[in-house]
Amino acid sequence: MALYQQRRNQLSPFFSKASVRTLEPLILSKINRLCARLEGEGSVVTLTHAFVALTVDVISSVCFGVSHGYLENKHFARDWYAGMVSSSRAGSSIRQFPWLHRLLAYFPRAGPRAARDGVAADTARQRNLKKNIEEVIERRNRGEKPPASGGGLNTIFDSMLEADVPASEKSPARLIEEAQTVMGAGAMTTVNALDTTFYHLLANPSCMERLAKELCAAIPDTAVPPSLVELEALPYLTAVVHEGLRLSKGVPHRFARVSPDVSYSYGDVVIPRGVAVGMSFMDFLERPDVFPDPDIFHPERWIPFDSPQVRQRRKSLVVFGGGTRMCLGLNLAWTELYMTVATVVRRMSNRLKMHDVVFERDVKITVDGFNALASRQSRGLRVTIQPLEEV
């Protein structure tokens, strides 16, 4: 526990509300680049891959001081996302048989295809992250500051290398392990939330129209974007973001907890010490007594936001967990969600059209791969963008 807390304390300052507020210009610049790319595309675009490019470019800037540049890639972050999905699908097998990961690393052509693909993706990602970390170390050895392209701010790995901790905590293997965790956590859940939110907005034109109307009134000039604080004051945007996040399921995996020393009573049930108990967040997010018709996208359930009913719903929105192990990146995730939904809807709400999207195949969460995953047949959330002159 002491080691866990030490590691968490190293990262916490980067994801505080105050720190994330300083990242707003960086985040907005990436969102504006996303919109420019979308507006310049003349064919079908997979929004899923575009959202991955956005979130990975943001979190890589925070980690290393340099964006990975996926927003400039022709296919956005298609391959990065495919690797993460393969790794997530393989995770179920590897969690049951931990030795499988090492075996497949030595014999990459052995084992089930999903596991092979997952290990290959992990290996490629570790190689790239190792290069990123080596570049941070080399930059520091030259006495150079983080580049302005990443916001010019001190980075997570600068901070880790400066920390007064044992040398083992600064080893390349340890830094790569942390980079994998932060990069994955900083992208996948936010992408799922954006995907889910935009699917439901596009599938429910009245919701999109109401949100666009609110945003047009709040942002009369798109060249003068509002701050996060101003966006959080918009009732329907807040409702849409919360409802999209709820339906995205967060991380559906069961997180086991153990009381090693004492037994606990839960109602009439006694849980003996040493017994692991796990529960999925989905059990909270789909409670019909808290969220009537829980499978329906209904932003109005979050209005008015300060009512007793909505306060109860906010307590049940446990997408980011709770307690001492609550997700560190929740402030960054909220900021990306509010700013991305607001900017994209304000600039192109009446120009986005879904293209051959089937909810059950492409969007619906069907797999617990630690991350929430759609079916193997999913093509992602694909759209066309109508040219401005044709609107």
Annotated binding site: 327
Record the tokens describing residue 126, joined without a space: 């570790």
Beta carbons of 62 and 14 less than 8 angstroms apart: yes
* Angle, alpha carbons 37-38-44 (nearest 5°): 125
Q: Following DSSP, what letter does each residue of 26-81 receive, concatenated?
A: HHHHHHHHHHHHHHH--S-EEHHHHHHHHHHHHHHHHHHSS---GGGSTTTTHHHH
- For the annotated binding site for heme, the residues are 327
Report how far residue 336's alpha carbon sits from residue 237's, in angstroms, rounded to the nearest whole number: 13
User: What gap in Å lies between CA 153 and CA 146, rounded to an integer?
Assistant: 6
- Report the alpha-carbon distance of residue 271 to residue 305 in Å, rounded: 37
Residue of 22, 299, 252 whose CA lies nearest to 155: 22
Q: Which pair of tokens denotes residue 227?
A: 């701050």
C-alpha to C-alpha distances, 142 to 34, 137, 164, 167, 179, nearest whole angstrom: 33, 9, 21, 21, 22
Q: How far apart are alpha carbons 343 and 175 in whole angstroms?
A: 34
- What the block records as the tokens of 368 is 């617990």
End-to-end CA distance of the chain: 57
